[in-house]
Amino acid sequence: MFPGATSSNARTLRQTFDIPVSHGTNDYVLRLSDSVAADQLAATVDSYVVTPAIAEAFDQALSVVEESLRAGENKAAYLNGSFGSGKSHFMAVLHGILGHSPAALSVPELQPIVAKHPAMSGANLLRLTFHFLDSASIESALFEQYLRQISRLHPDTLPPVLHSAGGLFTDADNRRAEVGDEKFFAALNASSGAAAPSSGTVNWAALGASAGTWTADTYAAATAPNADPAERARLQQALIASYFTSYSRNTDWLPLEDGLAVIADHAKSLGYDGVVLMLDELVLWLTFLITERERFNAEVQKITKLVETSRGRLAVPITSFIARQHDLSRWVATGSDSGATQQAVEQAFAHQAGRFGNVKLGDENLPFIAKKRLLQPIDGEAQAALDAAFARLDRNPGVWDVLLDGVNTDDQHRGSDADAFKLTYPFSPALIATLRALSGQMQRERTALKVMQQMLQDCADRLTVDHVIPVGEAFDYIIDSANSTPINDAAAQTFKTARTLWTEKLRPLLFRTAGVDESTSDADVPPGLRADIRVAKTLLMSAVAPNVPALKQIDASRLASLNHGSVVSLIPGDQVGQITNKVKQWAAEIPELSVTSDANPIISVTLESVDYERIITRAQGEDTDGRRRELMRSLLSEHFGVLGAERTLDDALLRTVIWRGTERPIEVVFGNVRDRGYLSDDRFRPATPGALRLIVDLPFDEPGHTITEDHDRIDELLRTGQDRFTVAWLPNFFPDKVVRQLGRLVVLNYVLTGDRWATYANELPEGDKIAARTILEQQQSQVRGQLGNAIQVAYGTASGAKFPEGQPPLRSLHAGFVAQPPIGNTLGEAVDRLIGDAFDALYPDHPDFTPADKLITRRDLNTVLARLREAQSQSDGRIALEAGARGDRDLARRVVEPLGLAKVNETHLIFGPEQFTAWQTRITQELARLSIDEQGDVDIDELRTAIMASGPKRGLTADMVDLIAAAWASQTKRSWFLHSSPTAEALIGDYRRGTALRLEPLPERQVWSDAVRRWTAWTGQNVNDYLTATNLAAFAEQVREYARSTFTGRGQFVNAIGQAYQYFALDPERGRYALAQDLQQLFETRLAHVTNLDLVAAIADVELRGNDIEAGKSLASAAAVEQALLRYPLTRWDVLRSAATGTDERSVQAKAILAELAKAVQAQEFAQSLPAALTNADRARDAWLEAGVSRQPAPVPVQPAGMPPTNPNIVELDPPAPVVDDVATQSFTVRGRGATSAVEERLRTLLAQYPDDEFTVTITRVQR
């Protein structure tokens, strides 16, 4: 079974170990009942290995028995251990210790343990062994085997009655009627003997005797419902001994707790202090009952009765040891029982967990056991050879950890160590763990030690001590063996499917690929195929036992390590890559295999017996040439980066790449180069300005055509002499096998897309549809991966790809670019390399922006442009730049230095004439060549043309050209105009057709600074204070716009101030009016129709009769002041001016009000607000008038008609009319200087009385 050959120098395994020539079925499989007899126990003990952990287990087991005897109560404990962990051997040795066997007590490692339990030395224990496989029930196994063992141990003693008596008495009555009373009772009495019991305990040894013989009366009394139990039992015994000797094997047994009580009574009658039941295979037997759920549930719940019964304390205590390979409780959760049933079982397990002890026989003991029982060197030289071979093992962590079973470790699985590995060498801990776990799914004959023995014997003459036995070899012994019988139907189906997959698919594929006849036995295959076999079998085992730590989610690296030494790579250390490629090839043809896309992929196997090929056969008609070409274009689109890309007008796929920090368009066309009907000559020319076009041929063609025709077409295009920035990629054609895989993928994609699956899978059983889809999806993925590899080969990027002489895969249609063979680990990398090489050749003078793969965005360029303009506004062309994430220094250096625009040192950007000299010279030369006057306006498009013409091999993008144009405009002090009107300096991306750059002189920097400062103080407007031609033009336009829109109409304001000055007789050369006149003169005269330079000079140099702050306030408040003057006309102050001519108190008051107002009129608005002063003066005037009315003397008698008044200042009033509700017709006449107060008083009275009404006042002047 183990393919391979030995090394001529190293020892073979047979020359190293004591290996028997043949093996038996039961080697290393102990049957407990056959190993406890005195002669057999010695052999068992002699081969038994006692490790510290096993000694501790014996201590625990003896404690359980000791406690049971001390308390007089039933006790039980589980012996927990996996298959092959030695549970049966343990119970056999325990059996000997409890029976005081000299062989067992002579084991040195156990003697200290036995000495710890002196109470056991004098105990007389009935030790019984039980096997449960093929038993009908727990009662049948216990009671039938008890009777058998007790009859062997005590042949002269009548056995107890453990079956139900009802059926026995019925059978006896029938026999009595058949033979008659005389004959019936004669035979019955003949079976009796011995003395009657002497105590209350049933004396089974004396039940045959009685004070009298059996008669009809005594028979009737013993069978009556109220019969004495002793008499009833004596009759049962007599019947069994005389007539029904086989009744114990063919009748209903007592309930378990009743039967245990009978056994306890019987044991005590025989002089025993206690009973020890060693229950082997009980848990294994229950496991087989899982599919019979009702029976399983019933039997599981009986186990509790081993420690608890309703009968109270028994005659002697019973101690039970139960061998347990796994925890049965985990099966309960997966059951389909009703809630109540399942809950009852769960409660039984929970109850047992608290009352049953646990004795652990751990897997860590297996290396010691294997070393003693299986791997004993034949002599010292053999041991030395083993040690040397082990020392030579590869300690690379990636291999060593796997061999030590150190993957997928957790609290339940901690792996192994080098010491344990040395004990079991050449079996690795990973192999042993795998055997142990897989043997757990088999019958007991497939233990790890048993399989190790078989493997050792089979390769004893073929392997040397230098070989670590590969894990893949275990397949033949566990899964593909005729003796492999799984413990349940599900496992059996899985094993069957694995064997079928191996024999019908994997093995034929491996042999066919290797060119080896399938009839060749595995032992005679060449080494390469032998390695493939081991890898494939390891994969199958990972599917059968996916939860085994060493096999769980197995990857390529672990596959190589588990089969250490089998996979030999041409490139040292490339075993992972070699295994990955092989398995991917297998997976493309066997859909049950799947491989992830990682560098160290996870490899999985799906074991399902589903007829998925029926689906493929039904959809085979969908595999057409058109669909194959469509699928090929889709696959290639991923490699060329155009999957889902936009299309050009001529249907090319468009993508962009970053080349030297700039964005470049790439056009990709998939088609048949030889076919002029599909690809006209025009389609070999890029449709997008500046684009590189890639014409990609497909790796297959119609029958009868070759790749030579594609190359002939390219040669014809080159003979035209027309340069096209185009590269044709002409691959080798796929082999027929790959073309078939392409067709397979067409079908898989078709049936697995949309609603088609339901149609094509409708013939499968519902339960198989999901499995079939999973398998086909796996194959879809694997075939796609294999096609990806084939594409790498066809297009020349795979290692070792070859092309015919004179037919390279890449053909350039541009004289300036000679395409080299593809370079790259993948086709995608080769495409990117080709694109970079093409642009390098076409634009060798392009700046080397670094990093080359990071795009310089338009925003980046505008940031740099802003810094250049800022630097140019300084006298020395320098500005400080910050570094770091928030600074622009790194960005500026990345852009301006490769372009040759400026310099950037550690702290500053320097943008002076000397830094810009090269570009200044180039642009000047090109403008002259284009007959453009550099001293005049330069159109932006003409400037762009000059920049591009200065170096066509630079290949600058439009945004880069615009940056240079803006830098030139800034460096040459040009203003920006749009359609002859000044405009702000444009940002890159905002240049508009009709933009011109105008050269004009700039003011002195101090003059500019003064003008900007004064203008800001006057108007509050923001001004870009960088001195550039554009900023100058923008400033001038800003001033003119202010003059047009804001200052227009300010003459009325000046006139209003002038009238106030005249009214109050103020000096016009001082104060508010003088400043207003100066500002009017500036805006309406000096700033009108002047150049930008003169405008700046006028603002900077103008002398105002007031400072800039006062001027700013004057301009800002002019409208408000003018409105206030209109609201309070000068005539309003006449009454005060008239009264101010006197010398009385009221005259003085009027004079003071006028003086205060005159002071405000003359003051600058910044110092005193005129609107507020007018408001205050008006209030003072009203108060003055009201005070005059309250002080007026009582009226004098009316003079006779025709006589003048004695006082001309006295107001003459008509008699006041009475106040009525309707006041619309009231009128009165006043005359004299004091009449104002009277009128106001009358209005005030009316307004107070009628606050919501409206009054109309009509004034009529009557001349006298």
Evaluate whether 43 touches 27 at the Cβ level (below 8 Å).
no
Domain limit, last residue, from 1191, 1219, 1242: 1191
- Give yes or no: residues 828 and 791 share one domain: yes
- Strand, coil or helix: what is 591? coil
CA distance 1013 to 999: 25
Beta-bridged to residue 728, according to DSSP, are: 695, 811
Give the span between the Cα atoms of 87 and 104, in whole angstroms: 16
Chain position carrying tokens 């791997």:
375
| pLDDT on residue 351 | 60
Kindly give, in sequence order, each residue whose CB lies less than 8 Å from that of residue 1184, ignoring residues fewer than 6 positions away.
1136, 1139, 1146, 1149, 1150, 1153
Q: Are residues 710 and 832 in the same domain?
A: yes
* Tokens, residue 414: 């901690």
Residues 487 and 577 in one domain: yes
- The token pair at 760 is 């094509």
Task: From residue 266, give the alpha-carbon distance in Å to each of 144, 204, 237, 750, 1075.
Answer: 15, 7, 13, 77, 137
Tokens of 1165: 């608005």
Domain range for 915 is 858-999
Quote the CA–CA distance of 414 and 407 in Å, as a whole number.
Answer: 9
- Nearest-angstrom CA–CA distance, 203 and 249: 23
Chunk the chain into consecutive blocks of 10 residues (it has 1264) and report each block's average pLDDT, rounded to whole numbers.
50 87 54 72 82 91 93 91 79 91 89 91 92 86 89 85 74 85 84 42 42 78 72 79 65 82 92 94 82 81 85 90 78 49 58 78 79 86 89 81 76 74 87 76 63 85 85 80 60 81 89 89 85 90 82 87 68 73 87 85 84 87 92 95 92 95 96 93 94 96 93 94 94 93 94 89 83 89 89 90 91 94 93 96 95 95 94 86 78 95 94 93 94 92 94 93 95 89 89 90 90 93 82 88 82 91 93 93 88 92 93 92 92 90 89 94 93 94 84 51 46 45 59 64 72 74 64
Nearest by Cα to 870 from 914, 918, 899, 902: 902
Q: Is 667 helix (H, G, I), strand (E, B) or coil?
A: strand
pLDDT value at position 761? 87
Please indicate, yes or no, whether residues 1023 and 1112 belong to a single structural domain of this protein. Answer: yes
How far is it, in rounded angstroms, from Cα 342 to Cα 294?
A: 10
Spatial separation of the C-alpha atoms in residues 39 and 96, rounded to whole Å: 11
Where do the DSSP E strands lie in 519-671? 593-595, 603-605, 646-647, 653-659, 662-670
pLDDT of residue 1235: 62
Torsion of CA 960, 964, 970, 976, to 10 degrees: -70
Element (H, E) at 1117: helix 1108-1127
**Of the candidates 982, 999, 1016, which is a domain's last residue?**
999
User: By the 8 A CB rule, do 386 and 427 touch?
Assistant: no
Could you tell me which residues come within 8 angstroms of residue 621 by beta carbon, excluding any fewer than 6 positions away?
none
Domain presence at residue 1202: no
Under 8 Å between Cβ of 302 and 256: yes
In a domain, 1064, yes or no: yes
> What phi and psi, each to the nearest 5 degrees, are found at residue 360?
-95, 125
SS3 content of the chain, % helix, strand, coil (to 5): 50, 10, 40
User: Virtual CA dihedral for 49, 53, 55, 59, nearest 10 degrees?
Assistant: -150
**Phi, psi (degrees; rounded to nearest 5) at 178:** -75, -40
pLDDT at 192: 61
Same domain, 995 and 1009: no
Helix (H) or strand (E) holding 977: strand 974-978
Strand 653-659 relative to strand 662-670: parallel, antiparallel, unpaired? antiparallel
42/111 same-domain check:
yes
> Of 621, 49, 664, which is closest to residue 361 (Cα–Cα)?
49
Residues 974 and 942 grouped into a single domain: yes
pLDDT, position 261: 92
The reply to whether 392 and 522 lie within a common domain is yes
Structure tokens at 127: 């030790």
Both tokens assigned to 806: 């004179």
Is 1161 inside a domain boundary?
yes
Mind giving me the DSSP string for 714-727? HHHHHHTT---SEE
d(CA 1046, CA 784): 75
Domain shared by 753 and 653, yes or no: yes
Q: Please tell me the total count of domains within the chain.
A: 7
User: Do 303 and 441 have their domain in common?
Assistant: no
Could you tell me which residues come within 8 angstroms of residue 928 by beta carbon, excluding any fewer than 6 positions away? 934
Query: Do both 114 and 95 map to the same domain?
Result: yes
CB of 855 closer than 8 Å to CB of 661 = yes
State which of 579, 609, 639 marks the end of a domain: 609
Per-residue pLDDT at 743: 94
Q: Does any domain span residue 259?
A: no
Q: What does the alpha-carbon distance between residue 1155 and residue 1137 come to, in Å, rounded to a whole number? A: 10
1186 and 1257 assigned to the same domain: no
CB neighbour list of residue 1015: distance below 8 Å, 6 or more residues apart? 1021, 1023, 1035, 1039, 1099
Domain membership flag for residue 867: yes
List C-alpha distances in Å: 1231 to 412, 889, 1236, 1238.
123, 86, 9, 10
**Which residues, listed in sequence order, are joined to residue 324 by a DSSP beta bridge?**
80
Does residue 396 lie within any of the structural domains?
Answer: yes
CA neighbor of 450 nearest in space, from 463, 464, 462, 435: 435
Residue 476: the pLDDT is 83
Q: With H, G, I as helix, E, B as strand and everything else as coil, classify residue 282.
A: helix
Residue in the block written with tokens 């035209």: 720
Instruction: Give CA–CA dist 355/319, Å, rounded.
Output: 12
Residue 538: inside a domain, yes or no?
yes
Residue 976 phi/psi, 5-degree rounding, is -100, 130
The Cα–Cα gap between 431 and 563 comes to 10
pLDDT of residue 63: 94
**Partners of 982 in beta bridges:** 977
User: CA angle, 1263 as apex, 1258 and 1264 as ends, to 5°?
Assistant: 140
Q: What is the Cα–Cα distance from 1035 to 1097, expressed in whole angstroms?
A: 12
DSSP class of 621: G
User: Exposed, middle or buried, 1239 (CB in 10 Å: 0-12/13-18/19+)?
Assistant: middle
- Give the pair of three-digit tokens for residue 336: 């389909």
Q: Quick check: is 654 in a domain? A: yes
Extract the tokens encoding 1118: 């002019």
